[in-house]
Every structure is written in C-alpha cells, then in structure tokens.
Amino acid sequence: MKKILLAGANGMLGISMQQALVDHDLIALGSDELDISCTRDITAAIIRYRPNYFINCAAYTAVDLAETEVEKAYKINATAVRQLAQICEHHRVTLIHFSTDYVFDGNATLPYRPHDAVRPINVYGASKLLGEQYIQDNMSSFYIFRISWLYAAHGKNFMRWVLENNLEEMHVVDNQLGSPTSADSVALFINHLVENDPDEHGVYHYTNQGELTWYAFAKAISQKSNVPKNIHPTSSFKTAASRPSYSVMNTDAIRRTFNYDIPTIDTALEEVLERYKSRS
C-alpha cells in the first residue's frame, strides 16, 4: 500500500482518482483545503503526510477564459507547478502531473509522440507546457501524462452537455480530430502505475484508443445512450481560444513501459454511460 497525497480532489479527474485509489493510503484534498499556489501549504502537507506520491489534479482548465485571464492561468498551471516540483524534489516525493494535447499546434498528420516538437496555439496550452518544463527542470522523480478531451459521469464535461442540454438542434464542430478520454480510465491506469511503478520517469501520452471529431463523439454518445439528439456537423464555431485541428497522441509508450492496455474510446464510453445511468 502506497501513501498518496492528491491535490484537486474535487475536480472531475480528482473524483475519479479517489474512486480508483481506494486500496491505498489516500489523502484527498480539494482546492479549498490545499492551494497548490501556496508554497507554505504544500510544504506543510508533504511534511505532515509524508507521501510516496503527490498526484496533482489541480489545474486551470478554462481554455477560452485563459485568453483574458492570462496571469491566473500561468499562476496555477506554471508558477505553482514549479514550486510544487521543487518541494517534491526536496522531500523525495514522486510527482504525478497531468498536461494536455493542447501543447501541440495541430499541424501533424500522424499521432504526436511524447518528444515531438511542441507549439501551443492558445494561452492554456502555453501555460501547461511551461508547467511541464518546470517539472523537468527541477525534478528527477516525476511522471507527466498528457491527456485529452476528458469526460466522466460526474462533473461538467462534453458528454454530460450532449445528454442534458435541451436544445432542439445541436451544432458540433467536425473539423477537430482527437481522442476523447474517460477520467475513470486515466485514474485506473494511475492505480496500476503506483502498484507497479517501473521507475521510468518522464513525459507520456495517455488517451483512450482511437480518434474522433467532436461531432462524431456527440453522435456516439447519443447512439450508445439511446438518447436521441438532433446533431449537426459544423466547421464554424467561434471560440476565444484557437484549438488544434489534429491532436491525436501516440500512446505506445504506455503499453511498452507500464505493460498496460489502454481501453478503446468505445469501451470507455460504454463504461462511463453505465455509470452515468446508475447515478440518474
């Protein structure tokens, strides 16, 4: 049994982590209990709990709002992460941190590999990338997992929006290709990691297997849930932040390094929909 300190425990990914890590000595703290931007709070928590792992699920994730809240995005996604990395390194705590497919510009034609060139095209992606760089500059024992298009049966996310909105017609973009990924799937993999840590630290990609546009994902949600929706594809959906048109990521290193088979998009979606129905 490993001792794990989880920050951002009340967010979508944090809730999934709490469910997946029940067999460990887990200290789960929400942002109201542990502010990752406060060096004193982080130091005190690590000294008090002495964890083997610090899992950071705390982040600024408002992609469009970040275009105007630039300072706030960088404070949480970069500056706070630098401080967290330095403290974890000093106390010999392994950091597990999550980044995003938005560190890429979307100009690729093949799935991005972890060490491909990065070029974010929005503030959110740039702030997350700087956080990655701070970890790599300040730590020896860390895992960074880039994830994408996260959703779950809980929290605010695209799947729930498709199922719960009352629009007569839904217009969903069909010109962005990526890999929708279940937060529960990510959390189950992290449980596997802490139970079988190969000590192969670095940057990895974790997404459910396959690729879809947002429109195709919306259709799949409607069809698999048996909730009819009038969904139309569109190529024009104005947002404050630019998004990469292609952000599929190569996850081969997960299977190779951690001996772990990642579920497909279809399998993960079906499991999340079952959980969603059981909550209704």
Q: Of how many residues is the chain composed?
A: 280
Paired tokens of 123: 């503030």
176 has a pLDDT exceeding 70: yes
Please identify which residue in the block is written with the tokens 């929708």. 180
C-beta separation of 80 from 40 below 8 A: no
Using a pLDDT cut of 70, give the percent of the chain over it.
100
CA dihedral 114, 117, 123, 125 (to 10 degrees): -10
SS3 content of the chain, % helix, strand, coil (to 5): 40, 20, 40
Q: Span 194-205, mean pLDDT?
A: 96
45 has a pLDDT exceeding 80: yes
**Is 3-278 a domain of CATH 3.30.70.141?**
no
pLDDT, residue 236, reads 77
Task: Give the whole-angstrom CA distance, residue 86 versus residue 81.
Answer: 9
DSSP letters for 192-237? HHHHS-----EEEE---BS-EEHHHHHHHHHHHHT----EEEES--
Q: Span 150-169, mean pLDDT?
A: 97
pLDDT, residue 207, reads 99
Q: Say whether pTM exceeds 0.95.
A: yes
pLDDT, residue 280, reads 67
In the residue annotation, 124 being an active-site residue is answered as: yes
Q: Which of 53, 112, 124, 276 is catalytic?
A: 124
C-beta separation of 184 from 152 below 8 A: yes
Task: Give the whole-angstrom CA distance, residue 167 versus residue 66.
Answer: 27
- Provide the residue type at 123 as one letter: V
> How do strand 25-29 and strand 181-182 relate by DSSP bridges?
unpaired
Q: Find, among 155, 107, 140, 160, the residue nearest to 277 by Cα.
A: 160
| pLDDT confidence band for 198 (50 / 70 / 90) | very high
pLDDT, residue 180, reads 99
Task: Give the whole-angstrom CA distance, residue 280 versus residue 71.
Answer: 39
* Secondary structure (3-state) at 125: helix
- What are the tens digits of pLDDT across the range 224-247? 999 999 999 998 778 999 999 999
Q: What is the mean pLDDT of the chain?
A: 97
Q: Span 155-182, mean pLDDT?
A: 97
Instruction: Please give the DSSP secondary-structure letter assigned to residue 152.
Output: -
Q: Find, among 146, 208, 183, the residue nearest to 10 by Cα.
A: 183
Task: Give the whole-angstrom CA distance, residue 181 versus residue 152.
Answer: 9
> How do strand 181-182 and strand 150-151 relate by DSSP bridges?
parallel
Task: Give the whole-angstrom CA distance, residue 149 versus residue 118.
Answer: 18
C-beta separation of 50 from 29 below 8 A: no
